[in-house]
Structures are given as structure tokens and as C-alpha cells.
Structure 1
Amino acid sequence: MSPAGPGLSATVAGKVRALRTEMTVPLYRNAYALMLNTVVNSGFGLLYWIFAARTFDADEVGRGSALVSLMMLVSILTQLNFGQALIRFLPRGGMSSAALVRTAYGLSAGLAVLGAALVMAYCHFLRTPDDPLYVSGGFAVWFVVSTVAWSIFNLQDAVLTGLRSAMWIVLENGVYGVIKLVLLIVVAQTSLADGVFTSWTLPVIALLVPFSILIFRRLLPWHARESAADARVPDRRTLTQYMAGDYAGQVFNQATSSFLPVLIVHLLGPAQAAFLLPAQTVFIAMNLLQTSITSSLVVEGSRDEGRAHRFAASILKRIAVTVLPGSVLVALASPLLLQLYGTEYRENATWLMVLLMVSMFPRVIVTLYMTMSRLQNRTLPLAVLQFVHAVLMLGGTIALASPLGLDAVGWSWLAAEVVLAVALGPKVLRWLRPERSAPVAA
């Protein structure tokens, strides 16, 4: 055996021990769990649409995709961004934790019913039967029920995050991904109408029951007792102001991501919008990885506000060794990744994907600023920040589309992130800088 053999084994064993030690710390355990959940969700999502394309004709896949997207959009807009509020305030909810969760569920479900019913009324009464978005009365009812279930399903992830139980999210979404795939294959063998939408939504309703029992009978009672001594429940005014600013920011963010393909169709044509899709999908997944890590930071910073800046410094190190190297790897592999979609995708979107991956670096500063603002209950700056980002990105795309083509999206996004990082960087650095008298974090 070569001398390198024992040395390599010792190195691997040391890394494993270090990882096991990190997993005992809630800050890191939940961060890694949420990152794993992002990977699981992205993987199953990719497999689902590959299977859908191979088992249904293009018209059915297109209609199913449109209806799923419509349901998600209604759900996002009617949740009032309650998920971020739960992540922020549930960690110190004490005996009011269950009431906070029930309020989030109740308001989101009620608004989801209203929003989904209005959308379905439009699709049923104002669309002709030959229109791809026309729905029957029976399907309209199912859509409303599915939208409510989807809203609560997503809020459950926020609840589990706030309860420092993010590993349950991985299990929940892993089971959902498997059942969704199996059901897709099953309904493809039947004459069931809207099989894509049914296979996407039916497992959600089935999973709500066991995970609701887990949350309300086990996790919430334990958390209420554990956090009772240090409870800090927001009053109605604080909660309303927090959610108002965060919701406005979410609307601007959603408008940017949802409107971008429409803008590209208008400026450059439908083919270029198709080339945008894979690059945008990968970029969203990388952003979700970063957001997953900082969600754990919000939870732990809410529980111990005096050490939030040190938690942030630790999380920054984890981003530097996970998300940022991943962005570099994706940038280098972008020609190969895009070739999976076809030569035209590789030729038209490679530089776009590279630019989007580069923008992940200044995005770190912006994400940390957003986390800091949430911990300080200052969400109005988040709305302003995301409005400015939307103006810079969309405005830059419009101005540069003629000379640069699809690459205008990448340059505009990178420029927007750099401008915001430069403006916000000093505030983030002051937040990260520990006091000289404070003990060094482990």
C-alpha cells in the first residue's frame, strides 16, 4: 500500500467527523437540510417534466404546465408572504406558536379560495370551449381545492423551518416527488382529463394529513414548551408592517421572473424565449440554494439576536464553499448542460448562463442584506431593493436587447446585482464585523 493510502483515509475520516459535528448545530443542520431539499425538488421536477413529455402529447403537457403555473402564481400572491413571517417569528413564538400557524393557514387558505375562484370564473365563463385555458365547472372546483392545498403545503415548509425541523421537509418533498412521478405514469394509462395537473396536485392533498398531524400534535407542542421562557410574539402592527414590506418585495420579484420570458418574446421572438428557459431555471435553482442557507440564519438569528452577525459570518463561509463553487462549476459546464437541450440552445444561451452564474457572487451581499433587514423587522427596504432590481434588470434588457440579443438579460442581471452589492456592501460588512470584546465564534 502506498503511503498516501492511510493519509487519504485519515483525511476522509476527519472530514466525516467534522461534518457529523456540524450536523449537531441547528444552524448548519437546517441549512444543509434546506439545501438538500432544493436539490431533491429540482431533481424530481426535472424528471417529472421529462416523463410528462414522453407519456403525454405536447398539447396536454402545455396545458398541464400552464395550469400548474397558474395555480402556483395564485398561491404565491394569496399567501401574503406568510412563509417568511413564520420563519422570522415562529422560532420565539412560545405558547402562541400554534395560533400563529393557524392564522397563517386560515388567511392564506381564505385568500386562495377567493383568488382561485376568480381565475376559474374567468377561464370558465370568458373562455370558449376550444380555448386551451377553458375549464369545466368540475375542474374549476378541483383547481380551487388544489390551490388551497398547495398554499398550506408550502407554508408547512416554512413552519418546519421555523421549528428547526427542516429534515422533515426533505422527507415530505421526497415522498411527494416519488408519488407524483408514479401517479403521472398511472394517469397516462387512463382516459382521465387533465392528467398532468391531477398527478401534480393529488399527492399534495394526500400528504397534508400526516404532516399536519406531525406538526400540530408533536412538533408545535414541543416547540411551545421549549421556547416559552424566551418568547417574543409580534403584535398585530409589527406583523402587518413586516408582511406588507416583504409581500411588496415578493410581488416585484415575482413580476420580474414571470414577466421576463414575456418581455423576451416581445423583444426577440419566441425562439429566444425558449433558449432563455434552461438558463433561467438553473439560475433560479442556484438562488434557492443560497436562500435556503440564509433561511436557517433567520431562524437562529431570531432565537439569539445578539449573535446574529456571528451566525451570518459562519453562513457566509458555507456559501463560499458550496454555492459559489457550484456556480463556477455550472458556468464551466454550461455548454455541455445546454447541449442536452440541443445545439441551438448551446449556441444561443451559453454566455447568458455564464453571466447569470457570475452574478451569484455579488448576489451574496444582496442576500445577506435581505436577511439582516428581516432580522431587524425592516422589510420596507426589501420592497425598495427588489423594485430597483426589477427596474435595472428589465430596463437594461430593453436597452441592450437590440445590440446584444439574449445576452442582454445576463449583462443586465449582473449589472443590477453589482450596483446593489456596491450600495449595500458597507452596511453588510458593518453587520458582519464582530465587536472586539466578543468571544470568537466556534
Structure 2
Amino acid sequence: MSNIVQKVMRDLRNPLFRNGYALMANTAITAVLGMGYWLLATHLYSPEEFGRGQAVITAMRLFASLTALGLVGALARFIPIAGRRTPELILRGYGVAGATGCVAALGFLLTLPLWGKTYSVLGGFGPGLFFLASVLVWSVFTLQDVALTGLRRATWVPINNLVFGLVKMGLLVALAGALPSGGIFVSWIVPTAIALIPVNFLIFGIVVPRHMKETASEASPPRLREVGRFLAGDFPGTLSMLAIVYLVPVLVAAQVGAATFGRFSMAHTLGCMIELLAMNMAVSLTVEGAFDKSQLAANCRNALRRAYMIIAPIIVVTILAAPLILTIFGSAFAAEGTTLLRLMALAVLPRVLIEVYLSALRAQSQARKLAVVQGGLALLVLVSMLSLFPVFNVNAVGVGLLISEILVALLILPELRKILKFDETGQPSVTQESPEPA
């Protein structure tokens, strides 16, 4: 036991593991509080309102993430070395993400009849304006976590989301009687907007000044052209990946009823939480790769070991206990979502390899390869899901995801093995993980 404690303490002194563990802890906290939130919602709201709330939140996150997720790789890559330009880089990210998200959401609202009956609740000036504001809020909320990670302060992320999750649950209960229609969406957005104030005070008032001081001697502020060149390759690929996470549920919502979508969305949300664990360590890997490329091979190996050590048991438990987990929300959730949740959990195994490979490419600024791999994966998922939907119904999402990620993992495996064995100079990497304490 003492050896395990010593190992964990040693890991926490390593920024790669400290940030990665913090982001994984954040995912776990978000998953637990999220399950509690949706469990309350199933009891406090009708099945139709539950499904509508899920659908509207999914659409909001889709448009908020159009540029925000595209900037995740860039901010993780350039914040560590931005020096005096760090505040400008973060604020530009906020502005671009919010503006493009709102423009896309406006297009969605203007074509609302094309998106099915579930989204008709957003019709009218008031609901539409609130939806646009929520897109802006969620864009900033998404990027502030990335900013803290790039600043090597990811330990604040789970604290922020713990408070956010608890307030969100409290407001959900409070609005159940006062706002039976729309209470789910309102309870999600209002705490998000409130959370922006203290977190951004922390970022710009405390963390950024310390970061600029600590990295003054080694900072290499990126030029706009350099950031733009990186985004030109990374953004199209990230936009493709966005289709997997958010566009797929929106397409499903347009084809099924609100109640059916609610049951699908619960299994899909839990599956995405497991997948997010793989991405957490990968984001930390991008940050550390930007600080020191000579350690990239060793960091990739360490990230793979830790990711599989943590994720593999979670996948096994999820596959075995999927019916029990979903039964918490009701027997109908287990009947319709068990297979989907199992398939999505199994797909995370190859996804770990893909995410580590993508992060290594970001650290090396290999934007063209990023676009090819991410775009190819998204295309495979969308084509397979749409092709299989008439046969497997909502389970087509899980089948398409599993087949696509296994195929892409096999294709990138030779290149990933080269990265694991060689450092940036093309020489065999001799840096190994720290030996176990005696």
C-alpha cells in the first residue's frame, strides 16, 4: 500500500500526470453529478420534457463547440509558450468561439422547422435569444477549462465543475414546479453563466500573471500566422470529430420522438464520459509536448500506460453492469440503452490509441496528418451510423463507432509505434519512466 501511495505522490509531481489525473477526476465528478442530475430530472419532469431538455442541451453544445473544440488543440499547444501574449491568446479564443457559435446557432434557429418537432420549443424571439446566449456562455465555459490546463493548473477544473454540478442540481429541483416546461435547460445554463465570473477572475487575475513570470525566460510567443497555420490543419479535423460527439445525437433527435431520444441520450452521455477519459490524458500530453518535445516519446508511453490502467477496469465494469447502471433511471432506459452503452464503452479501447497519436501530432504541429486522421474517423462514423440506422436503430451509433475506431486505430498503429520509440530527432528515445522506489 505504501508503494502505491508513493507512486501516486510521485506521479502528482509530474505535470503530465497531475494535469491528466485532474482532468480524469473532473470527468468522474461530472459523470457522477450528471447521473444525479438526470436521475432527478426523470422523476421531476415528464418523459417528453426530459427528452426535449436533452435534445436542446445537445444542440446548444454542438453550436457552442463548433469553434471552441477546434481551439482546444491550439490553446493547449500555444498557451504554454505564449508568454506575454497569453491573455490575448485566451481572449481571442473566447471571442472567435462565441461569435462563430452564435452565427451557426442563428442559422439553426432560422431553419428550425427542418429539425423535427423536438426542437419546436425554441421557436419564438424569447426562447431563440436565450438559446443564442447559452451558446455564447457555453463557448467560454468550454475554453476556460482548456486555458487552465494549458497553464498547468488543471487541478482547478474539477473544483469548478463540482460547484457547478451541485448548483445545477439544486436549481433543477427549484424549477420543477415553477417551470415544468424548459426548467431543465434553464437550470443547466444559469449556473454556467454564473461560474464564468470567478473562474475567469482566477485565470486572468492570478494564474496568467504567475504563468508569464514563471515562463518568461523560455517563452516563445506564437505569431498569428503560426497559430493560423496550425488551426488550418487542426480545425477541420476537430470539426470532424465534433460531428461524432454532438452532431450524431442531433441527427438521432431529428429521427425519433422526444421520449425515445431521452432514453438514447442517457446511454450516449455515459458512453461519451468514458471516452472523455481517454481525451483527458491526451490533452495533458499536448501541453507537456509543447513545453519539451524531447520528452514526447516517454510522455506518450507513460500516458498510454496510465490511461489503460485507469480506463480498462472502468470499461469492464460498464460492460458487465450496463443494465444495472441504466435501470437507475428506469427499466425503459435499460431496455433501450444497454447495448449502446456496452458498444460505446468497448470502443474506448481503440480510442485511447487514437487520442494519444493525435496529441503527439499536435505537439509536433503536424496539422495535415491531424486533419486526415480526424476527418477520416468522423466520416467513417457518420457513414456507418446512417447506413446501419435502419437495421439497428439507435444502436447503430455504437456499432458504427466501434467499427470505425478499431479500423482507424489499426491504420495509425505503425506511426504511433514509431512515435513511442523515437524522439523528435529521429533517434531512439532513452528516457524511461522513473524507476519504482525501493
Specify the TM-score bucket, using the shorter chain as the normaliser.
0.7 to 0.9
Q: Tell me by how many angstroms 1:325 deviates.
A: 2.2
228, 238, 251: which one pairs with 1:240?
Answer: 228
Q: TM-score, normalised by structure 1?
A: 0.86
Determine if the alignment matches structure 1 residue 185 to structure 2 residue 173. Answer: yes
Q: Report percent identity of matched pairs.
A: 31
Q: How many residues align?
A: 430
Q: Tell me by how many angstroms 1:313 deviates.
A: 0.9
Alignment of 1:5-84 (within 5 A): 12-79=1-68, 81-84=70-73
Q: Which amino acid aligns with 1:160?
A: L
- Closer, same or farther: CA 193–421 of 1 in aligned 2, 3 Å: closer
Question: Whose RCO is larger (CA < 8 A, sep 6+)?
Answer: 2
Q: Tell me by how many angstroms 1:404 deviates.
A: 6.3
369, 383, 407: which one pairs with 1:381?
Answer: 369
Q: 1 CA distance for matches of 2:136 and 2:254?
A: 33
User: Are 1:93 and 1:228, in contact at CA under 8 Å, matched by a contact in 2?
Assistant: no
Q: Which has the larger displacement, 342-351 or 323-332?
A: 342-351
Q: Tell me by how many angstroms 1:326 deviates.
A: 1.6
SS state at 1:132 partner: helix
Q: Tell me by how many angstroms 1:382 deviates.
A: 2.4
Q: 1:6 maps to what in 2?
A: none
1:141-177 deviation digits (Å, cap 9, x = unpaired) = 3333332221111110010000111111111111111
Determine if the alignment matches structure 1 residue 140 to structure 2 residue 132. Answer: no
Q: 2 CA distance for matches of 1:194 and 1:268?
A: 20
Q: Tell me by how many angstroms 1:15 deviates.
A: 1.7
- Closer, same or farther: CA 394–75 of 1 in aligned 2, 3 Å: closer
Alignment of 1:361-380 (within 5 A): 361-380=349-368
Q: Tell me by how many angstroms 1:329 deviates.
A: 2.1
Alignment of 1:115-126 (within 5 A): 115-120=104-109
Alignment of 1:131-280 (within 5 A): 132-190=120-178, 194-261=182-249, 276-280=264-268
Determine if the alignment matches structure 1 residue 416 to structure 2 residue 404. Answer: yes
Q: Which has the larger displacement, 371-380 or 283-292?
A: 371-380
User: Are 1:80 and 1:243, in contact at CA under 8 Å, matched by a contact in 2?
Assistant: no
Q: Tell me by how many angstroms 1:66 deviates.
A: 3.1
- Closer, same or farther: CA 197–131 of 1 in aligned 2, 3 Å: closer
1:248-303 deviation digits (Å, cap 9, x = unpaired) = 22322232344545766899999986765444333211110010011111111110
Determine if the alignment matches structure 1 residue 108 to structure 2 residue 97. Answer: yes
SS state at 1:229 partner: coil
Larger Rg: 1
- Closer, same or farther: CA 264–424 of 1 in aligned 2, 3 Å: same
Q: 1:306 maps to what in 2?
A: 294
User: Are 2:384 and 2:400, in contact at CA under 8 Å, matched by a contact in 1?
Assistant: yes
Q: Which amino acid aligns with 1:241?
A: R
Determine if the alignment matches structure 1 residue 392 to structure 2 residue 392. Answer: no
- Closer, same or farther: CA 325–56 of 1 in aligned 2, 3 Å: closer
Q: 2 CA distance for matches of 1:425 and 1:278?
A: 32
Structure 1 spans left out of the alignment, 5+ residues = 1-11
1:197-231 deviation digits (Å, cap 9, x = unpaired) = 22111112212111111111110011011112111
Q: 2 CA distance for matches of 1:130 and 1:329?
A: 33
Q: Which amino acid aligns with 1:253?
A: M
421, 429, 433: which one pairs with 1:433?
Answer: 421
Structure 2 spans left out of the alignment, 5+ residues = none
Determine if the alignment matches structure 1 residue 93 to structure 2 residue 82. Answer: yes
Q: Tell me by how many angstroms 1:26 deviates.
A: 1.4
SS state at 2:401 partner: helix
- Closer, same or farther: CA 104–391 of 1 in aligned 2, 3 Å: closer
Q: 2 CA distance for matches of 1:347 and 1:193?
A: 26
Q: Which has the larger displacement, 77-86 or 205-214?
A: 77-86
- Closer, same or farther: CA 296–258 of 1 in aligned 2, 3 Å: closer
1:14-51 deviation digits (Å, cap 9, x = unpaired) = 32232122212211111111001011112222222222
Q: Tell me by how many angstroms 1:377 deviates.
A: 1.2
Q: 2 CA distance for matches of 1:437 and 1:358?
A: 31
User: Are 1:267 and 1:398, in contact at CA under 8 Å, matched by a contact in 2?
Assistant: no
Q: 2 CA distance for matches of 1:420 and 1:135?
A: 40
User: Are 2:118 and 2:257, in contact at CA under 8 Å, matched by a contact in 1?
Assistant: no
Q: 2 CA distance for matches of 1:209 and 1:261?
A: 30
Q: Which amino acid aligns with 1:114?
A: V
Q: 2 CA distance for matches of 1:105 and 1:74?
A: 14
Q: Which amino acid aligns with 2:65?
A: I
Q: Tell me by how many angstroms 1:108 deviates.
A: 2.2
- Closer, same or farther: CA 15–100 of 1 in aligned 2, 3 Å: same
SS state at 2:121 partner: coil
Q: 1 CA distance for matches of 2:432 and 2:369?
A: 31
Q: Which amino acid aligns with 1:110?
A: A
Q: Which amino acid aligns with 1:390?
A: A
Q: Which has the larger displacement, 418-427 or 244-253?
A: 244-253
- Closer, same or farther: CA 126–427 of 1 in aligned 2, 3 Å: closer
Q: Which has the larger displacement, 33-42 or 146-155?
A: 146-155
Q: 2 CA distance for matches of 1:200 and 1:400?
A: 33
Q: 1 CA distance for matches of 2:183 and 2:333?
A: 29
Q: 1 CA distance for matches of 2:260 and 2:249?
A: 9
Q: Tell me by how many angstroms 1:63 deviates.
A: 3.6
User: Are 2:51 and 2:259, in contact at CA under 8 Å, matched by a contact in 1?
Assistant: no
